[in-house]
Amino acid sequence: MTTTVACAQVALRVGDAAANLATTERAVDAAAEAGARVVVLPELANSGYVFADAGEAAALAEPLDGPAVTAWSAAARRHGLTLVAGLAERGDDGRLHNSAVLIDPAGELRAVYRKAHLFGTEKDVFTPGDAPPAVVDIPSVGRIGVMVCYDLEFTEWVRMAALAGTELLCAPVNWPLFPRPEGERPSEVVRVQANAAVNRMYVAACDRVGDERGVTWTGGSVITDPDGFPLAGHRPSDDPELLIATCDLAEARNKRLGAHNDVFTDRRTDLYGA
Amino acid sequence: MTTTVACAQVALRVGDAAANLATTERAVDAAAEAGARVVVLPELANSGYVFADAGEAAALAEPLDGPAVTAWSAAARRHGLTLVAGLAERGDDGRLHNSAVLIDPAGELRAVYRKAHLFGTEKDVFTPGDAPPAVVDIPSVGRIGVMVCYDLEFTEWVRMAALAGTELLCAPVNWPLFPRPEGERPSEVVRVQANAAVNRMYVAACDRVGDERGVTWTGGSVITDPDGFPLAGHRPSDDPELLIATCDLAEARNKRLGAHNDVFTDRRTDLYGA
């Protein structure tokens, strides 16, 4: 049984929550139209990323019963799909988190993951999460793991999600464009490929396009197979794009590598702990 | 201060120790001629890889005072360079190990690392090592880490070498050729790139070319910078090749990523241990 997975690489506008909500709803509709059963949206998809200051971030952050999650839940239910989306979240205690929500095909909010590794000036705005990557079973789809952007750079974190049985790791990201040598893939994409391969799982990372207050986004969304090869997103794009890939998530339950190896049981936990 | 690093991607002949020794000596001479101060040779460079049986492996394995290490030490001393080479090693207790030796510019054997993660039928022949990756300071060069081939697939192991201060990770490898999509780099190279980037260190992986008893080698040797981009070995080659890269190892002591981040201190050791 295969699952159609989509990354909706959209352009967002920092500060314009209504426009962002409309953009993400349209993107989910389009992904559903293309047959997607799992859809990933970018990091901070309700708010945009480059806040003028902490006050702007606070004004844009929403509780879990706010307009963004409410609309995304309705969209997931309407199409009967699983949605992973980045959310500027205001917690019950008033603290802000760079979160990702996982909503199931019934529209139920099944996980709220708060980014544990904060990048750049996020540290001035958000409180990092203290919980492991979210890993949720979705019946007739598979086991979905969730983390956010810079989290992917920490192999310990990715391994934790993989050891918890993640078959498809969904990561909302906002990758600022860094210079790279001619002909090279963005370094962030290479790391996604490696994360997939060493853990033999699928990874779907959904980036953004466009510019925001002097930051250009890489447009590097990618969906990789358990060998680490891209199924979609072979090259970055400056344009909004709907990436679609057909994934057999059962493949990611098999950690065998050839006739003699297994990337999990070959780990020398006697030498570096579980 | 920069260091010229070389990978000598040679063709070896399983079972022909004399030919292999001559090939590796010539390769070290050529690397020295090209200005290399650090030279990496492939895995099992004395013996070849695809043994007919354990008996052949035992006959080819050498002690640390055998012909291969003796000749490599002489070559390192003659040229005043650091040499990392894969060795089929027979230990004092008669056990065989898939090892890598690190020889300094004075010709001194500074480290013997025994591969901890064994691949394929290696398990029928070799006893895995129980010691961490070797990490050795070479004056006026820098801190060199050593591991072998499949070890690179285990992010915990690479992290261990990195946290021990490795500036240049030298990895003798023998990568069997696996199918890959058109236009894609070998998955093993992608993982080397990611290992370099997430730890902000240089990595030099030295592969082989040619065929051996039905196995084709990938010829995927690569030297990457701390951003994970190749400095040499952008594409695999079917031919013997001397890869040369100029590396500023001091760069690998700086784990900063932009103005606000540090890939080591950003680790959430409170959530996944040191």
pLDDT by residue (tens digit) across A231-269?
999 999 999 999 999 999 999 999 999 999 999 999 999
Confidence of residue B117 (pLDDT cuts 50, 70, 90): very high
Secondary structure E strands in chain A: 3-9, 38-40, 82-90, 96-103, 109-114, 134-138, 142-146, 168-172, 202-206, 211-212, 215-216, 222-224, 230-232, 241-247, 256-257, 261-262
Angle between helix A155-163 and helix A187-199 axes, rounded to 10 deg: 40
- Least Cα separation, residue A189 to chain B (angstroms): 9
Neighbours of B27 (CB within 10 A): 24
Q: How far away is chain B from the Cα of A273, in angstroms, using its nearest Cα?
A: 9
Closest in B187, B197, B227 to A227, CB measured: B187
Q: Using CB atoms and an 8 Å cut-off, which of residues 136-165 of chain A contact chain B? A: 150, 153-160
Q: CB distance B154–A266 less than 8 Å?
A: yes
pLDDT for the residue numbered A2:
97
Report the C-alpha gap between B140 and A63 in whole angstroms. 56
Exposure string for A172-200, b = 16+ CB within 10 A, e = fewer: bbbbbeeebeeebbbbbbbbbbbbbbbbb
Q: Is residue B1's pLDDT more than 90? A: no
* Residue B247 is among the residues annotated as catalytic for this protein: no
Collapsing DSSP to helix, strand or coil, B205 comes out as strand
pLDDT tens-digit readout, B74-94? 999 999 999 999 999 999 999
What is chain B's alpha carbon radius of gyration, rounded to the nearest angstrom? Answer: 17
Has residue A273 got a pLDDT over 90?
no
C-alpha count within 13 angstroms, C-beta hemisphere, residue A48: 24
Q: Does B271 touch chain A (CB under 8 A)?
A: yes
Nearest to B9 by CA among B27, B26, B34: B27
pLDDT of residue B157: 98
Q: What residue of B is the nearest CA neighbor of A270?
A: B130
Q: pLDDT tens digits for B121-141? A: 999 999 999 999 999 999 999
- Domains of chain B, first to last: 3-272 (3.60.110.10)
Q: How many angstroms separate the CA atoms of A229 and A231, rounded?
A: 6
Closest-CA residue to B172 (of B111, B238, B93, B96): B111
Q: What is the mean pLDDT of chain A?
A: 98
Q: How many whole angstroms separate alpha carbon B17 and alpha carbon B26?
A: 14
The C-alpha atoms of residue B1 and residue B110 are separated, in whole angstroms, by 23
Backbone angles phi, psi at A118, to 5 degrees: -95, 145
What are the pLDDT digits (tens) for B199-240? 999 999 999 999 999 999 999 999 999 999 999 999 999 999
Helix (H) or strand (E) holding B204: strand B202-206
Name the residue among A41, A13, A14 with its Cα closest to residue A28: A41
Residues of chain B in contact with residue A181, where contact means CB-CB under 8 angstroms, are: 229
| Phi, psi at B206, each rounded to 5° | -110, 115
The 10s digit of each residue's pLDDT in A41-90 is 999 999 999 999 999 999 999 999 999 999 999 999 999 999 999 999 99
Half-sphere exposure of B75 (CA within 13 A, CB side): 30
Q: Residue B31's Cα: distance from chain center in Å?
A: 15
Q: Closest residue of A to B198, CA-based?
A: A153
Per-residue pLDDT band for A187 (boundaries 50, 70, 90) equals very high
Q: What tokens appear for B85 in the block?
A: 């080479």
- Please state, in angstroms and rounded to a whole number, the distance separating the CA atoms of residues B8 and B244: 9
* Spatial contact of B231 and B68, defined as CB atoms under 8 Å apart: no
pLDDT recorded at residue B274: 77
Contacts of A257 (CB under 8 A, 6+ apart): A200, A263, A266
CA nearest to A84, candidates A196, A5, A2: A5
